[in-house]
Amino acid sequence: MSEALRFRSPGRTVLCYIVCGPPIGGFVAFAYLVAIDFGRHPSPSFSVYLLIPLPAMLFGYFIGFLPALATGIIVGVVQNLGHWGRNVFIHGLIGATMSAASLLANSSYYGRTPDLSTYLFFSLPGLMAAFCCSNINRHFERKFESIDRGAGSSMGAI
């Protein structure tokens, strides 16, 4: 079946975004903070930063679970709309928008108004996580397609 007509499972997409998105976003946020810290005052001991990525990736689930869920649902629906819906850059923009929307919802609950740099800081991990999750999901969709095609041809021979 051609690439334009093949239906992709939104459930697999949501699962991929929920499992892979928050750790990737947590790692990107950690790397961004380390880069800012090195710009301000370089640390003589880099080994301090080597132990932090794993907890940062796990902490990403607390902050990034809901944006990853929303991004996975929207991308799961959008990817079946045509060729433009399968563009990984569109998926990245959806991830950045959902991360910024999460910050907006959180800040409006507490009555604070963040500035533009805060929105950009929260959008960058969402952008990178959605971009990576889109590529991971595309890889697994190809694997499932080859498995389904192989099972279908062997079942027809029975």
Tens digit of pLDDT for each residue in 52-93?
778 888 888 998 999 999 999 999 999 888 777 778 899 999
Q: What is the pLDDT of residue 104?
A: 87
**Angle, in degrees to the nearest 10, between helices 53-78 and 88-110:** 110
Q: pLDDT higher for 131 or 47?
A: 131
pTM for the structure as a whole? 0.80
Quote the strand ranges of 1-153, DSSP E: none
The three-point CA angle 89-52-18 to 5° equals 40
Q: What is the pLDDT of residue 47?
A: 63
Contacts of 45 (CB under 8 A, 6+ apart): none
Distance CA 33, CA 53 (A): 11
